Structure 1
Amino acid sequence: MFLLNTHPDHRSPLDLIDADTLGLEASEGVERHLRYRDNNAETPLVSLPGLAAATGVAAIHVKDEGQRLGLGSFKALGGAYAVIRLVLEEATARLGQVVEMERLHSPAVRQIAQGMTFACATDGNHGRSVAQGAQLVGARSAIFVHAGVSDERVAAIARFGAEMIRVDGSYDDSVKEATRISEERGWTIVSDTSWPGYERIPGLVMQGYTALIREALRQIPEPPSHVFVQAGVGGIAAAVAGHLAIAFGERRPLFIVVDPARAACLFETARAGHPVVVPHGEPTIMAMLECYEPSRIAWRILSRAADAFMTVDEEDAVSVMRRLADPAAGDPAIVSGESGGVGLAGFLRAAASSEMKAALSMGPQSRILVISTEGATDAGRYRELVGVSPTEVLSRGAA
């Protein structure tokens, strides 16, 4: 499914609060914060000239988030960043002086953090980031996971000392349960989705994501003409689209949001023109994107900054994992998890459709940017779907 953005707000300026959250000054602050983080390094921007030639465009670049901060996902930039910001703010309030990042591990700040508990619901990657952030500052974390989260992903979160709480039902059910219990116990919810009355913390999570698009714009030889980004609740798509709108203004690239067909909450929201909850059906293999209700902040941004919305099917997600693992001649192999290559899957579907190509003005001069949002965060599942292990893929080098 494919549709152009016909919302009345399309291409209008972002709300001031969103422009402040995702703007240049805020993103520079995120990068200053990252300089104090262990394992901090720019993730690679990978060129795929072979695939570009095969699909009739000038260039394809993939921002590979598979090694971000040792967590294997772009989510490492969001949850942990928000936790650390919240601890510094609490310390500022209690100590009566501005507490900056360089004092994060001081005894006074650590004592304050030890009395805080951070909670969230997760499909896997966001919870890992929140748990890591809590461990870094000496706080507690409680992570709520729904029935579809694999045991391997649960174990990857628990290794950061998190209390793991299983919830029957879907991701959205786990969000509700995390909120209920946190309100009862005085825990701080660090969610990557927003709802009426709860926007600032999800805004901080999204603010953390702006680091990856700033890196990509420094790394890319020429600005992209088209950007395809996958969406669950919409946080990463909105963060990237919003930052691009601010950075480029009227010259910004076309931005396309890609949903799993089985959990297309942003596509259906775009079709309706307002946030909608889509019904739960058969689970999607794109587990990190299996969300049935969009973030209100994300939709507010995407209604302005996205140009089109589309869906991809289950076989598209698996096909792109295999294509990245066994690439076109001359292209390097990339390990991308079940949800990681969905933006590229959207581009490939659009490139194969004359109608979509025309609607997006996509042709031989187009320069495509996508984000591989995760590596093999469940190595067993990756091997099952791709047929080889992540280690074997990385050992291949260029095709």
Structure 2
Amino acid sequence: MLDVFTCGAIGHIAANPSKGEAAYRVLSQVDFDDAWAEITSWDGYVPTPLVELSGLAAKIGVDRIDYKHEGPRFGLGSFKALGGSYAAMRVLQRELGKRLGCDVRLEDIRNGAYRDACAGITLVSATDGNHGRSLAWGCQRFGAPCRIYIHAEVSEGRAEAMRALGAEVVRIEGDYDDSVLLAKQEAEKNGWFVVSDTSWPGYVDPPRDVMAGYGVMTREACEALERAPTHVFLQGGVGGLAASVAAGLRQHYGADAPRVVIVEPELAACLFESARNGRATNVAIAEETIMAGLSCGEPSGLAWDILAEEASDFLTIPDSIVAPTVRLLANADYGDPPVEAGESAVAGLAALIAARRNPELSARLGLDHSSRVLLIGSEGVTDPEIFSAIMKGADRV
């Protein structure tokens, strides 16, 4: 049943992380605490489950696998609900403060005290689906107009989910990085405000707030775990998720923080190439990966500052092992609780299984029967049509 994971070619770069203070400087404890205080006060907040996959752990030969399942998060289907909506609040807080000449509390934005004023502040972003859905949800709650840019390969199901939350969705030709560029250009031209999960020179506050919001997920996992994991396998993308989790784990566990392994599609490996070059490096997306949320060619500078100091290993995986991992989780093949996950959610698990099928790679990653691995299941079923096709046996969608 696991033979497909043996056939997959896994790329590996052993990083030489330069120890520093980025995990405390780029994202401070105060940043995480402020986001925790706000987000845990939202209606509908409950911690998402940390699912122990003990049957699979025994099958592949590790001590423990804990899978943080973000599918139930605020009914939006992904961890992005923590970032985009919180960052939107912070953008509104800063802009309202300037316009009104007074301190503005997040609590008052949340409770609708500034709804009329928010109606004059348009928030925009580019997305592969989940970040835009979170931003649209936040804008709907706070009363701000929302404009979302998506690229040609974003599924119509994900586009419609954003429209249902009141967003104006603009589909462009090109890839994710093209949609990021257009969102920036049109925001500048029209006086709109970009709420992005990636940073660039001169633009750091919203991406930092996005990553601070993700810290809620990491704190929940740490509070649920009895022991520190030995490894954490983290999806790549622009790097915001990985950097936030790595920083949160470092702040919580200190010297006992787990080994950080970054996992990307071989078709969109900007962090892998950054590790190879020792600096943030852009890559061209020649073909879209099945892992839509990870199809990013340009890393976030803020995120890379953290990952350069915290990540020990960078892996690339082929698309061929993604759909089988989705099915393995949902079908509960080894007696574990069934988990319905999206394509981007399973990157870390797919890489872990493939690594354990390769003794040489396992040794390089320090994986053995005593390893305790934390995985971030970043999304649930955010596109039912794609999930249905995968469950029927499709390996490309």
SS at match of 1:88: helix
**Separation in 1, partners of 2:177, 2:99:** 34
- Asked if 1 retains the 8 angstrom alpha-carbon contact of 2:237 and 2:294, the reply is yes
Q: Greater CA deviation, 24-33 or 375-384? A: 24-33
Equivalent position to 1:193, from 198, 208, 221: 198
Equivalent position to 1:218, from 218, 223, 226: 223
Amino acid at match of 2:13: L
Equivalent position to 1:161, from 166, 173, 179: 166
- Can you list the C-alpha shifts for 1:82-115, whole angstroms capped at 9, x where unaligned? 0012222333344444332321255652222111
Q: Which residue of 2 aligns with 1:103?
A: 108
Q: Which residue of 2 aligns with 1:386?
A: 391
Q: Which residue of 2 aligns with 1:42?
A: 47
- Asked if 2 retains the 8 angstrom alpha-carbon contact of 1:21 and 1:204, the reply is no
Q: Which residue of 2 aligns with 1:391?
A: none
Alignment of 1:323-362 (within 5 A): 323-362=328-367
- Asked if 2 retains the 8 angstrom alpha-carbon contact of 1:88 and 1:109, the reply is no
**Separation in 2, partners of 1:102, 1:169:** 39
Equivalent position to 1:4, from 14, 19, 44: 14
SS at match of 1:269: helix
**Separation in 2, partners of 1:220, 1:106:** 34
Q: Which residue of 1 aligns with 2:303?
A: 298
Q: In the alignment, does 2:269 pair up with 1:243?
A: no
- Asked if 2 retains the 8 angstrom alpha-carbon contact of 1:144 and 1:167, the reply is yes
Deviation at 1:249, TM superposition (A): 2.4
- Asked if 1 retains the 8 angstrom alpha-carbon contact of 2:112 and 2:142, the reply is no
Q: In the alignment, does 2:179 pair up with 1:174?
A: yes
Amino acid at match of 1:70: G
- Can you list the C-alpha shifts for 1:28-82, whole angstroms capped at 9, x where unaligned? 2212111332221100000011011011111100000001111000111110000
Amino acid at match of 1:192: D
User: Could you list the runs of 5+ residues in structure 1 that have no partner in the other structure?
Assistant: 389-399
**Separation in 2, partners of 1:300, 1:107:** 36
Q: Which residue of 1 aligns with 2:27?
A: 22
Deviation at 1:375, TM superposition (A): 0.7
**Separation in 2, partners of 1:105, 1:66:** 23
Cα 1:255/1:361, change in 2 over 3 Å: same
**Separation in 2, partners of 1:290, 1:387:** 24
- Asked if 1 retains the 8 angstrom alpha-carbon contact of 2:231 and 2:374, the reply is yes
TM-score for the superposition, normalised by structure 2: 0.93
Equivalent position to 2:282, from 261, 277, 281: 277
Equivalent position to 1:267, from 265, 272, 290: 272
**Separation in 1, partners of 2:21, 2:142:** 33
**Separation in 1, partners of 2:139, 2:270:** 30
Deviation at 1:22, TM superposition (A): 2.8
- Can you list the C-alpha shifts for 1:217-237, whole angstroms capped at 9, x where unaligned? 011121111000111111101
- Asked if 2 retains the 8 angstrom alpha-carbon contact of 1:141 and 1:161, the reply is yes
**Separation in 1, partners of 2:48, 2:357:** 29
SS at match of 1:22: coil
Alignment of 1:119-158 (within 5 A): 119-158=124-163
- Can you list the C-alpha shifts for 1:108-155, whole angstroms capped at 9, x where unaligned? 522221110000000000001111111111000000010001111000
- Asked if 2 retains the 8 angstrom alpha-carbon contact of 1:36 and 1:102, the reply is no
Q: Which residue of 1 aligns with 2:3?
A: none
Q: How many residues align?
A: 383
Deviation at 1:376, TM superposition (A): 0.9
- Can you list the C-alpha shifts for 1:147-198, whole angstroms capped at 9, x where unaligned? 0011110000011111111111000000001111010000000111111121
Amino acid at match of 1:56: G
**Separation in 2, partners of 1:381, 1:333:** 18
- Asked if 1 retains the 8 angstrom alpha-carbon contact of 2:267 and 2:288, the reply is yes
